Amino acid sequence: MTVNRTVFGRPLRDVGFDVGVSGLVVLFALAGVAAQPGGWPAVLVGLGMAVALLFRRVHPSLAAAVVAALALTQVVAGWGVLAYDVAVLIALYSVVKYADRLRDGVLAGAVAAVGVLLAASQTVSNVAWWATAIYFGLITGGVWLAALNVRTRRLYVLSLEERAATLEREREAEARAAVAGERARIARELHDVVAHSMAVMIVQADGARFMLDRDPETARHAVKVVADTGRQALEEMRRLVDVLREPSPPEPAAGPGAAADPGGAGSTADPERRRATVAELPALLQRFRDAGLRIRYHADGEPAVLSPGLDLTVYRVVQEALTNALKHAGVGASVTVTLGRPGDAVLVRVTDDGRGRPPVGPAPSGGHGLVGMRERVGVYDGSLTAGPRTGGGWQVEVRLPLPSTPGTEVIAA
C-alpha cells in the first residue's frame, strides 16, 4: 500500500525538491559574498529570490513577479549578472509550466526579454553587447520553450486522467442503470408469476367448494393444491420484495475478458407478457439455430418439478447465454447447452467454442447479459460462473438450489 505523505497540503516529494532548488540559489548567493558586487545587500536579494521560489508551484505568477522585482533592483543597483540569477530562469520555467493561464507565461517571457537586454548592457565583455544579448536570449528562450513543452504534456496527461475518470463514472452509471432495468424486468415477471399463482388458488378453491359434497377426495386434493400454491406464491412474493429493494452496486464480472460484455445483449423486453418455461427451451434453441448457432442440447437426469419463478429463471439464463454466444462467438459457433439436476440443485451450463463469425442481423433479444443473469441467479441464492475456456470460447455455468418443498402439479376444477 502506497502512502502519500504531505507537508502543508503539498506532496512531500514536491516540497523537498523546491527546498533543494531554493537551497541551491542560497548557496550561489552566499558563495560570492566576498567577490561579487554589492556585498551583503546583493546576498539579501539572492535570499529573497530563494524564498520566492519556495512558492513557485502554488503561486507561480506571484513568485515570478517577486523574482523579477528583485532582479530589477539588482539592475538598478548596477551589480550586473550574478550567480544566483539562475533564480530568474527557474521562475520563468515555473510560471510557464504551472500558471493557470498561458498568458502569464507569455507576459513573463516578455519581461525576461527586457531583462536580457538590460543584463547584456551591464555585462563587461570583449564582445559587442548585442552578441551577449543573443547569448542570454538563447538560454532564456530555450528555458521558455522547454517549459512550454512540459506544460503541454502535463495538460495532456491531466486531460487523459479526467477523460478516464469520466468514462469510469459513465460505466458505473450504465451498470447501475442496467441493474435497475433488469431488476424492474425481473420484478414484472415475478409479479406475473404471483398473479398466476393467485389465479390458480382461486380456481382450485372454487373447484373445492363445488366438489366438497359430491367428491370429497377431489376437494381435499384441490385444497392441498391451494395450500401448496399459496406457500409457493408467498415465497415468490418475498423474492419480489427483495428485487424491489434498493439495488446494491453490481459485482465485477468473473474472469478476464468479462468487461467485453458490460451491457449484455440488449434490453428489449418480450413483446408478450407471458411466462416462459423450461418446456419451451426446444423452441428457443431452434430460434438460435435459425440465427446461425450450431446447438447441441443435453438434459441429464430426471426433469425437476420447478416453481414457476425458478422455471422462468432457468429459461432466461439459457436465453441470455445463447444471446451472448451469438453476439461474441458469432454465427457458426458450436454451442452446447446442458441442463442437469445434481443433487438438490438445477445446473445450467452453456459453452461455445468461440469460432464463429460476426452476426449479419440482430441477435434474438435477451436481457442485460451477465448483469441480468447475475441478478436473476441472486434472487434464488444461486451461483454464476462465467469466463473464457482453456481451449477457446466461453462458458457460463449456473447452479440454482431447489426449494425444500417441490412444486405441486395443478389440476383443473
Q: How much of the chain, in percent, has pLDDT values that exceed 70? A: 78
Residue 151 lies in a domain: no
CA 354 to each of CA 45, 172, 263: distance values in angstroms, whole numbers, following the listed order: 73, 28, 19
Any idea what the CATH number is for the domain that residue 319 is in? 3.30.565.10
Q: Which of 86, 106, 124 is the last residue of a domain?
A: 124
pLDDT at 310 over 70: yes
Smallest CA-to-CA distance from 339 within 408, 405, 396, 407 is with: 396
Q: What share of the chain is helix, strand, coil (3-state, %, to 5)?
A: 60, 10, 30
Average pLDDT over residues 163-180: 83
Instruction: With respect to residue 156, please indicate whether it lies within any of the assigned structural domains.
Output: no
What is the separation, in whole angstroms, between the first and last Cα of the chain? 69
pLDDT at site 301? 67
Any residues with CB less than 8 A from the CB of 137 and at least 6 apart, and which? 113, 116
Q: What is the pLDDT, as a whole number, of residue 245?
A: 62
- Any idea how long the chain is? 413
Domain final residue pick, 91, 106, 124:
124
Say whether both 356 and 223 belong to one domain. Answer: yes
Residue 115 counted as domain residue = yes
The pLDDT tens digits for 137-160 are 999 999 999 999 999 998 899 889
* Domain contains 358: yes
Look at residues 169, 168, 148, 150 and name the one whose alpha carbon lies nearest to residue 158. Answer: 150
pLDDT digits over 208-224, tens only?
A: 777 777 788 888 787 88
**Total domains present in the chain:** 2
What pLDDT digit, counting tens, does each position of 311-355 carry?
Answer: 888 888 898 888 888 888 888 889 999 998 877 888 999 999 988
- Mean pLDDT, the chain, integer: 78
**Torsion of Cα atoms, 309 then 314 then 315 then 319, to 10°:** 130
Does any domain span residue 235?
A: yes
Residue at 257 is within a domain: yes
Task: Tell me: do 112 and 231 sit in the same domain.
Answer: no
Does 211 share its domain with 296? Answer: yes
Q: Can you give the pLDDT at residue 407?
A: 42
Give the confidence band of 64 by pLDDT, cuts at 50, 70, 90.
Answer: very high
Residue 169 lies in a domain: no
Range of the domain at 73: 6-124
Looking at the structure, tell me whether residues 184 and 110 fall in a common domain.
Answer: no
Q: Which residues pair with 352 in a beta bridge?
A: 335, 394
Residues 189 and 254 in one domain: yes
Output b/e per residue, 95-129; b: 16+ Cβ within 10 A.
bbbbbeeeebbebbbebbeebbebbbeeeeeeeee
Residue 412 belongs to a domain: no
Domain boundary among 109, 124, 139: 124
Is the pLDDT reported for residue 395 higher than 80? yes
Torsion region of 208: left, alpha or beta (phi above 0 gives left; psi -120 to 50 gives alpha): alpha
Q: Are 211 and 342 part of one and the same domain?
A: yes
- Kindly state whether residues 208 and 343 are assigned to the same domain: yes
